[in-house]
Amino acid sequence: MLKTIFMLAALTGLSLCLPGFIAAEELQWEDLSAGNNNFTAVLVDRINPQTIYAASERGILKSQDAGLNWDNIFLAGGRDSRVNMLSFGEDNGESIYAGTAEGLFHSRDAGRSWKRIFRGKNEPERDCTALAILPGKICLGTKNGLFTSTDKGRSWQKAQGEIGKASILGIAVNIPDYFYIASVEGVFRSKDAGLSWEKIFIAHATENGSEAEEETEDADEEERFSGIRYVVAAGQGLYLATTEGVYSSEDRGESWEKLPEYGLLKQEVDFLFACDDSRLYAVNDSGIFRYENERWHELSLRLVAGEVNRIGIDREGNLYAACGKGLFRAKTTDGLCADKIHGAESVSRKTPGIKEVQEAAIKYAEVEPGKIKEWRKKAKMKAILPKLTIGIDRSESTNYEIYTSATTHYVYEGPYDKSDGWDVTLSWELGDLIWNDDQTSIDVRSRLMVELRDDILDEVTKLFFERRRVEMELDSLTIEERKKRTEKELRLEELTAYLDGLTGNYFSKPN
């Protein structure tokens, strides 16, 4: 009803001044659907916004011309071809993950080919509902527990305890160690990268009144009794979507504060999207909203697209909405979005390149070429600085006088004499400006350092590319080739340990 009033006011040019109403931002929405519908997720290339991936109940579409033309690049198959979410991998824009009702799929070549890397033991486990791609780890939420992989999906471990059985709704991460899981059982937090979990938030759906029954009649049976919908982390902030509104925490889930509902039109929020520059967006049955100055501003006034499932933002500030009636795009007044956006399920770290690893190894071994130049510079400065000599001269004496006569003989002791002397001498060896003996020593040490540096670079380069080859061999192995895969995994860990030893743990440490 409220949205209808807004739309009538916009069409007739009337100005709303009613108490409690907020002027909505009238974005111009462009339809990119090309006749397709039932979109469930959208993903825009981080570098090139011309490349868009859109998921639907039938597969994945890809556009390389900003939505003018689309190609079908993925169909899950099976009884349910629904794609629930999309995420970029940690390496580059060529790596894409698709969470579907039939498992988790991965493409290494921007969608040209796909490989299923996770398939649960039963239907609830196969249904992937949340995903976080982390440096060296994949966290996958399903309708029957949380799974993690540390080898790019070749093997999986199911979480223990309550988190291993719950239906997962969202995953959020504060790098490096804080993980958050939104589930129908509550919000869980891990302070040790997923090794142990604690429950930090519980919410229950309102069961009084027919409106609450209408809101949840299409939800899964277990979700009808949970008020939690989604969780997202941005910077130090943590945000939680519930049937009672949006909650925020600035202390990593220790305490929670409910954000104002002013302008939200409807209390229940289904999805959140956040940028690191503090921009927060919410999605519910009433539309899309942006939180600003302690109030919500509607962005979907002119968007007639049915249910909004997911939203996304590209680097140029374009807002995308994956909806039941199509895929839509609008230019916001927010300007460029920060590099890190949250809600698209990915927290990435690029693996160091060979040049970075070589530089880290040289720095760790303290054999930088600039060190020799510094030595030579200091050797020349030695001739400019004088040689300082300090001396002390101390003397003591006593005078005696002897008188002798025929009748008298005596000795007269004169005054005691004590004197101290100081001298300071400054001297320069100006010939050292041209050459000095330290130069010879530096030449010898320079040759030894160059030899050591060459040996280190040679060793690091061999280890780096051998590790790359082992990674490629691992990627080509199937899950069934367990013995070969185990051997390659051990070799990969060994090479990583060697590289860390030569670089001071630079190779595998998080950014």
Q: Is the pLDDT of residue 432 over 80?
A: no
Q: Helix, strand, or coil here: 145?
A: strand
Other residues' Cβ atoms within 10 Å of the Cβ of residue 25: 18
* Cβ neighbours for 384, distance < 8 A, ≥ 6 positions apart: 428, 433
Q: What torsion do the CA atoms of 143, 147, 153, 155 make, to the nearest 10 degrees?
A: -120
Over 50: is that where the pLDDT of 260 sits? Answer: yes
Q: Are 234 and 275 in contact (CB under 8 A)?
A: yes
Q: What confidence score (pLDDT) does residue 380 get?
A: 62
Q: Average pLDDT, stretch 303-319?
A: 87
- The separation between the first and the last C-alpha atoms of the chain, rounded to the nearest angstrom, is 48
- pTM exceeds 0.75, yes or no: no
Task: Place 435 in a pLDDT band, splitting at 50, 70 and 90.
Answer: low
Let me know: does 239 contact 232? Beta carbons within 8 Å.
Answer: yes
Is 70 exceeded by the pLDDT of residue 347?
no
What is the spatial distance between Cα 105 and Cα 167, in angstroms, rounded to a whole number? 20
Average pLDDT, the chain: 78
Q: Where residue 194 falls among pLDDT bands split at 50, 70, 90?
A: confident
Whole-number Å distance between alpha carbons of 246 and 203: 12
Contact 184, 166 (CB under 8 A): yes
On whether the CB atoms of residues 182 and 168 are closer than 8 A, the answer is yes
| DSSP codes, 449-493 | HHHHHHHHHHHHHHHHHHHHHHHHHHHHS-TT-HHHHHHHHHHHH
Q: Pull the structure tokens for residue 493.
A: 């860990």
Q: Is the pLDDT of residue 24 over 70?
A: no
How much is the average pLDDT of 239-247? 93
Report the pLDDT averaged over residues 24-43: 87
Q: What is the pLDDT of residue 404?
A: 66
Token pair 């040049």: residue: 355
Q: Which of 180, 176, 184, 177 is nearest to 144 (CA)?
A: 184
pLDDT score recorded for residue 7: 45
| Distance of alpha carbon 345 from the chain centroid | 11
C-alpha atoms less than 13 angstroms from C-alpha of 92 in its C-beta half-sphere: 8
Cα dihedral sign, 502-500-509-109: positive
pLDDT in tens, 386-423: 666 776 766 666 666 666 666 666 655 666 666 666 77
Please compute Rg for the chain using Cα positions.
36
Dist. CA 2–CA 29, nearest whole Å: 20
pLDDT digits (tens, 9 = 90+) for 201-223: 887 655 433 343 444 444 454 55
The answer to whether the CB of 133 falls within 8 A of the CB of 347 is yes
Q: How far is 474 from 485, CA to CA, in rounded Å? A: 6
Instruction: Give me the mean pLDDT over the 485-501 stretch.
Output: 84
- CB contact at 8 A, 209 and 168: no
Q: How many residues appear in the chain?
A: 511
Return the pLDDT at 378.
67
Structure tokens at 125: 């486990």
Cis peptide before 135 (omega within 30 of 0): no
Q: Which of 175, 195, 197 is nearest to 185 (CA)?
A: 197
| Lookup: tokens for 231 | 């969780």
